[in-house]
Amino acid sequence: MSRPEKVQAALKLMGNPYASLSLLDDAGEHAAIETNLEQKRAYFRKLENPHAFSSIFGDAGDDLWQAAANRNGNNLITVLEKELDEVLGLYKPYVARNDWKQLMDYRPIFLAQVGETFERIERVTNRLQKFKFSLLPGEKVEYNRAPAVRIISELKKILV
């Protein structure tokens, strides 16, 4: 069934002809938000101006949630793993050197605890997205000082 046919079928079920507006708008909006986030990150790097962080990202929390929700449901576990690795990779320079192994040991535990339901995997993936931060070219996170337990405790909160 093509996408227009699917929309027609959904409208019949909903019994509301005006629902097409929200159905069509939502799909376009999600794709636009996803593109926007990547564009924002690229723009921030290009500007090389740390002062620009807030004005570019603003209160990006809600956008991130919606963007992540647009991901393909077929590969949710792969997406979750990729997201977790991206987030951990971002924090790696900051984690105390001796503690990195502890964090890596927690990785499979975290993934196992997420569970297998579609909603839960998607919710955790979306939450993980929020913890990504952007650095400028040449900008470096200082000190390998964050204890693994601190990050693990934050990751556990995501699971709740």
Partner 1 sequence: MPPSKNASLLRSLVSEMDALASRVSKKEFPIPLCKIAEGRKITSVDFCPLLVDAMLTTHSEGFRILLNSDGGRPKELKEQYNSESKVRMLNPRLRFSIAHELAHTFFYDISKKPPQLAKTFTSGGRRTALDNLERNCNTLASHLLLPSSMFRNEFLRLKEITPESVLNFARKAGVSLQALLLRLNKSDSLFIGRYYRGCIFLIEQHEHKISVQAIAKPKSLNIARQLSLMRSGETWKLKAHDGSFAMLDVVTEMSKSQKRYKICVAETGRFEGINSFLVTFEEG
Nearest approach, Cβ of residue 34 and partner 1 (Å): 18
Q: Which two tokens stand for residue 39?
A: 């564009």
Encoded tokens for 153:
């405790």
- Told to check if 85 binds partner 1 by CB under 8 A, we report no
Token reading at 125 = 């993936």
Task: Confirm if 101 and 91 have CB atoms less than 8 A apart.
Answer: no
Site string for partner 1, 33-72 (x = CB under 8 A): -----------------xx-xx--xxxxx-----------
Q: Pick from 87, 114, 121, 124: which binds partner 1 (CB under 8 A)?
A: 87
Shortest Cβ 3–partner 1 spacing (Å): 34
Question: CA 11 to CA 2: how far, in whole Å?
Answer: 14
* 160 touches partner 1 by CB under 8 A: no
State phi, psi for 146 to the nearest 5 degrees. -70, 125
Please tell me the count of residues contacting partner 1 according to CB under 8 A. 31
We find the least distance from the C-beta atom of residue 136 to partner 1, in angstroms, to be 6
Q: Which is nearer to partner 1, 7 or 41 (CB)?
A: 41
Rounded to whole angstroms, the Cα distance separating 43 from 37 reads: 10
Selected from 26, 35, 139, 149, the binder of partner 1 by CB under 8 A is 139
Q: DSSP code of 70?
A: T
- Going 24 to 28 to 29 to 31, the CA torsion angle's sign is positive
Residues 6+ apart with CB under 8 A from 95: 103, 144, 146, 147, 148, 151
Interactions with partner 1, residue window 91-130 (CB under 8 A): 91, 94, 96, 130
Q: Which residues bind partner 1 (CB under 8 A)?
A: 50-51, 53-54, 57-61, 87, 91, 94, 96, 130-131, 133, 135-136, 138-146, 150-151, 154-155
